[in-house]
Chain A
Amino acid sequence: DAKTTQPTSMDCAEGRAANLPCNHSTISGNEYVYWYRQIHSQGPQYIIHGLKNNETNEMASLIITEDRKSSTLILPHATLRDTAVYYCIVKADNAGNMLTFGGGTRLMVKP
C-alpha cells in the first residue's frame, strides 16, 4: 500500500472549514483513499473514501487531485466535537484485509 504523509497537527476555529491535507504521491491506480478519525479514547470512525472522483457525504467532502497524488478532507463547519486524530489511508481493493494506520493529523478545533 502507498505511504501517506500528513501534518502532525492543525488548528481550526470553530465554525470554520477544516481542510486536512494528505500526500500520497506513490499511489497506484487501483488504490482507494480512506479517511478515518479517532476522537480521544474512542474507537476509530469511518468518514469517507474515494478513488478518483470527489466525494461528499453528511460528514465531510473528499477532494482528490487529478493526478491523485494528494487529497484533502474538508469538514465544512468544524465543531469542538470534531477535535480528533484524522487518518488518511490508501489501500488497493485487492491488497489484503487490513487498513494501515499512520500517525494521522491531530486536529484541534478551538472556540
Chain B
Amino acid sequence: NAGVMQNPRHLVRRRGQEARLRCSPMKGHSHVYWYRQLPEEGLKFMVYLQKENIIDESGMPKERFSAEFPKEGPSILRIQQVVRGDSAAYFCASSSAPINTGELFFGEGSRLTVL
C-alpha cells in the first residue's frame, strides 16, 4: 500500500510564476491536509479538504493560494504569482477519517524554491 505521494519533490520557480503541488492520499483515504514548513520553522496548518470540499482553510493565506481535491485525481495546492517568501517545504497528509479519530500520514513533501 503506497503511502502519501507528493510531486514534484522539488520545484524551482521565478517570482511571479505559478506553482502547482500535487498530493495523492493513501489508498482509501478521503481526507487531505496541507501544511507548510518555512526554513528552520515548525509545521503550520494550511487547509483541510475532503473530496470536492474545502472543510477548513483557516491557515491559508488570503491571496494567491488555493487548494482543491477533485472527485478524481490528486489534491492540488496552487500558488499564484509566487514570491520569495513562499519558499518552503509543503507537506500533504491524509487520513481515513477526520483527524479527531485517528492519525495523519504525511508525504515526503514538496520543496519550493522561488528565485
Chain A residues engaging chain B, CB cutoff 8 angstroms:
34, 36, 38, 41-46, 49, 87, 91-104
Across the interface, do B106 and A99 meet the contact criterion of CB distance under 8 Å? no
- Which residue of B has the minimal Cβ distance to A98? B45
CA distance A38 to B104 in the complex (A): 13
Across the interface, do B106 and A97 meet the contact criterion of CB distance under 8 Å? no
Chain B residues with CB under 8 A of A103? 42
Cross-chain pair count, CB within 8 angstroms = 58
Residue interface bits B53-65, CB-to-A below 8 A is 1, else 0: 0011011000000
Chain B residues with CB under 8 A of A93? 100-101
Q: A98-B45, A103-B42 are in contact. List 8 more A-B contacts (CB 8 A).
A: A43-B93, A44-B104, A44-B106, A45-B106, A93-B101, A98-B99, A101-B44, A102-B42
Let me know if B103 is at the binding interface, CB within 8 A.
yes
Across the interface, do A96 and B56 meet the contact criterion of CB distance under 8 Å? yes
Across the interface, do A98 and B48 meet the contact criterion of CB distance under 8 Å? yes
CA distance A97 to B55 in the complex (A): 9
30 A-B contacts (beta carbon < 8 Å): A36-B104, A38-B43, A42-B109, A43-B93, A43-B107, A43-B108, A44-B43, A44-B91, A44-B93, A46-B104, A46-B105, A87-B42, A91-B99, A92-B100, A95-B100, A97-B48, A97-B55, A97-B99, A97-B100, A98-B45, A98-B56, A98-B58, A98-B59, A99-B99, A99-B104, A100-B45, A101-B35, A101-B42, A102-B42, A103-B42
Residue interface bits B26-40, CB-to-A below 8 A is 1, else 0: 000001010100000
Chain B residues engaging chain A, CB cutoff 8 angstroms:
4, 31, 33, 35, 42-45, 48, 55-56, 58-59, 91, 93, 98-101, 103-109
Across the interface, do A104 and B42 meet the contact criterion of CB distance under 8 Å? yes
Output the least CB separation between A41 and chain B (Å).
Answer: 8
CA distance A93 to B104 in the complex (A): 14
Chain A residues with CB under 8 A of B91? 43-44
Chain B residues with CB under 8 A of A42? 108-109
CA distance A92 to B101 in the complex (A): 10
